Amino acid sequence: MTPSALISAKPKITNSPTDPVDEPTTDVAAPTSVCDPTDAVGAVDSSFHAALAPLTGGLSPAALALAAADWQLHLWASPGKRAALAGQALQSAAEFVDALAPRRAVFRPWSLIKPSENDRRFTSPDWDMPSYNLLAQAFLLVEQWWHSTTTDIHGLAHSNAAIADFVLRQCLDTVAPTNFPASNPEVLRKIMETGGGNFVYGLHNWIEDWQALLAGGRLRSDQKFVVGKDVAVTPGKVVYRNELIELIQYTSATRTVRPEPVLIVPAWIMKYYILDLSRHNSLVRFLVENGFTVFMISWKNPTSDYRNYSLEDYRERGVDAAVAAINEIMPGRGIHATGYCLGGTLLSIAAARSGRDRSDCLRSVTLLAAQTDFTEAGELTLFINESQVAFLEDLMRRRGFLGTAQMAGAFRMLRANDLLWSRVVRDYLIGERAAPSDLMSWNADATRMPFRMHSDYLRRLFLNNDLAEGRYQVDGKPVALSDLHKPMFVVGTQRDHVAPWKSTYKIHFLANADITYVLTNGGHNAGIVAPPAEDGHSYQVLTKKATDSYIGPDEWIKRAPSQEGSWWTEWIRFLALHSGQPIVPPPPMGTEQNGASLGDAPGSYVLEQ
């Protein structure tokens, strides 16, 4: 089937999510690895790596050892750097001793060093008290010195320096003064207020968490936001299903609608309803209430039966199948295609192929915190090298998928202070639970990833950067992001640890299109989930025409005007600008096959554990 025929063909409806899973039909070669498991020796090595992985948290010991050796050898061979480090340590010690006996009667907190903007460990006013403030400054000075040991070392590979710095930071985080009752004034204050009752509550919380962990790591019942009842409640119907996706069409909420539908491609690493949380937090509801017809892909939570599904299968049976289904329901309408995170990366591939082979398929392309060039992909790249990918492949090959625990562990390590240690202090030392939220409940609702697809993603995109460099092939021909000519709306978030905004900004010199780029405050998730009714949101926005000269991100941030409020309203203006006039009546809610309905939103795939 030709690419254009695939887009326009009527999709095959599968009426039951439990139907047998077909084998993928793509001809993309399976990813290769250093160790061939079909060879007897290779099979032994692969099994050994898979058995070792749980003991190392899925990290390759060889990758860590090589980074440590590279760092230590280059530091040893740099006497000037070592002398500078010694001088820095002596200077910091002298300044700290001088701060112990201030010349002024009034103590000035944070006179030596201040926590970074992203470091929330010392934000309580209790940390401004002299003794605790000096303790915190001493820790931050030590942390700063160890960071210096991994920077500006001549000859040290940047990737190995980053790994060494990351590991050192993880070790130091474990001994931060915030983590111990005797050195944390917030904990001591709680002890005085409760008479030590906080430790009783903390022990109770610890026991609850262990019980939840033994039960598979699921949230307690009082933390859950039930899918279809509390979250993912925007009315709609499942209008298409295959073995990989359910396509949801949402019910119109206005008398007239824009002619062009919006298709949202979420990441398959988590459930789709990050974009349809509670009523006040739902981007889907916001779009529907502003007169747009919205379709959403809900991905299947794969099992070991899906081990051979490739990234190309996700494109064909995911994005392309959804586009074909929408064309069947709303023929002749250009689609506002939208992708979030990994879904945005996959959408950019499908859109580039569409731009090459059928340019009338899409009306615009929106990428939300999605990368297309992976050379500066943040701290996630610490886990992406040949040794680490091969080690991870052996782990996935044994089970057929990457489990939720490995993914959750990686993200917790990236933000250990926010996702691990702060929770330990709050839940177990202070004895208080954070108020449950829809976003927290969604974050615990993780999914698995098929072996071959995840290997494709890591090797072809992260490791080799094939998409940005024109080597990624679709239907036997490479796709180029320069074939993207439709207007684009691209969102980056300031504190994104998954898709750093300067990485998402690179679409400016990859695509040949008018690009409206938005930089919003917040992180990878909270920056995207930014309802207008919620205070504290702001963003910068600037549009670059395809014929305009390129400006770098540092210059962009100086030029782009700042706006208070949510970027959602800016996106509505963009979509309206590139849509036809509202029409009546709204489009039909899909079609039934053989008299069988596929059910109401949120569908069945999102409920699978």
Q: CA 93, 94, 99 angle in degrees (round to 5)?
A: 95
367 DSSP β-pair partners = 339, 490
Distance (Å, whole) CA 186 – CA 425: 9
Beta-carbon-side half-sphere exposure of residue 102 (alpha carbons within 13 Å): 12
- Helices 130-148, 79-100: crossing angle, 10 deg rounding: 170
DSSP-derived secondary structure letter, 102: -
Distance (Å, whole) CA 188 – CA 139: 19
Q: How far is CA 272 from CA 265, 451, 579, 602, in A?
A: 8, 21, 25, 10
SS3 at position 536:
coil
The contacts of residue 236 (CB under 8 Å, 6+ apart) are: 248, 249, 250, 251, 296, 589, 600, 601
Measured in degrees and rounded to the nearest 5, phi and psi for residue 416 equal -60, -40
Q: How far is CA 577 from CA 157, 260, 296, 376, 490, in A?
A: 47, 12, 22, 32, 15
Q: How far is CA 134 from CA 146, 177, 308, 367, in A?
A: 18, 11, 56, 45
Residue 129: how many other CB atoms lie within 10 Å: 13
Q: Would you please indicate which residues are annotated as catalytic (active-site) residues?
A: 341
The sign one gets for the Cα dihedral 315, 317, 322, 323 is positive
Question: Please, is 154 exposed, middle or buried when counting C-beta atoms within 10 Å of its C-beta (0-12, 13-18, 19+)?
Answer: exposed
Q: Scanning the structure block, which residue is given the tokens 């919380």?
A: 205
Two structure tokens written together for 381: 């790249």
Strand order, beta sheet including 294-299: 236-241, 245-250, 294-299, 262-265, 335-340, 362-368, 488-493, 515-520, 538-544, 562-564
Two structure tokens written together for 342: 């990994």
DSSP-derived secondary structure letter, 257: B
